[in-house]
Amino acid sequence: MGDNGTMAAVSEQLKENHLGVHVELVPEHGPGTKYPTPAQLNQVPANAFVLIVDDDWSYTPTLIEQMVRFMTTHPTVDAGGIFVRGVGEKAPGYQSECGDTLVKYALGYASNGLLFRKFALDGLDQFRERMLNLEPQCKFVDDMYVSGFQHMHGRKIAKVELDAQTEASVDLGGGKDGALRTHHKRGCENTACQNAVLRSV
């Protein structure tokens, strides 16, 4: 997401200090850039899980272990999230005259951590392009169109139950004070994108 010089410097630091880490520059698609490209997914085994998180949150060291355990013991769940809004709940509107968005399908938030079975992400790249053409505001609410993609395929997103003593994730400031919350009309974007998803089903 940074300029090429910054990314090159970060890549070198990672190579020097963390063996096996690979940094790849990809096209920018707003917050949804964190999702793997089809070429990247092709390198992942068919039975693998894919974890999606944000770069401005801190996560408990046992998060992955607990999420994989949950998914392994819940074979009918296609994506597990630490924070999932159910149908009928409201997604906050923040800086928006549109107000909160009444959720019409399960809405999982990658910021807190979302674990997918690999097949649940197959075709997401093409779906995102279709959504951005249908409703450009979808670019800024990736959770809405990614969850909608699961919905249109009849897949299940469920809340992961963590150990009682676990604090799953901590916002380091990007979510609370970030540009997407303070400079975007999130209620309008969420509502417009959700409506576009439902029109596409």
Mean pLDDT of all residues belonging to the chain: 86
- Token readout for 102 is 């009444």
Please, which pLDDT band fits residue 176 given cuts at 50, 70 and 90? low
DSSP 16: H
> What's the average model confidence in pLDDT over 89-96?
81
Nearest to 57 by CA among 111, 2, 129, 128: 111
> What's the average model confidence in pLDDT over 56-74?
91
Provide the pLDDT for residue 198: 96
Q: How many other C-beta atoms lie within 10 A of the C-beta of residue 72? A: 10
**Cα–Cα distance, 148 to 193 (Å, whole number):** 9
**Cα–Cα distance, 77 to 154 (Å, whole number):** 11
Residue with tokens 């450009």: 136
**Is pLDDT above 80 for 200?**
yes
**Is pLDDT above 80 for 177?**
no
Beta bridge mates, 79: 116, 157
Provide the pLDDT for residue 57: 84
Provide the pLDDT for residue 167: 62
Please, which pLDDT band fits residue 2 given cuts at 50, 70 and 90? low
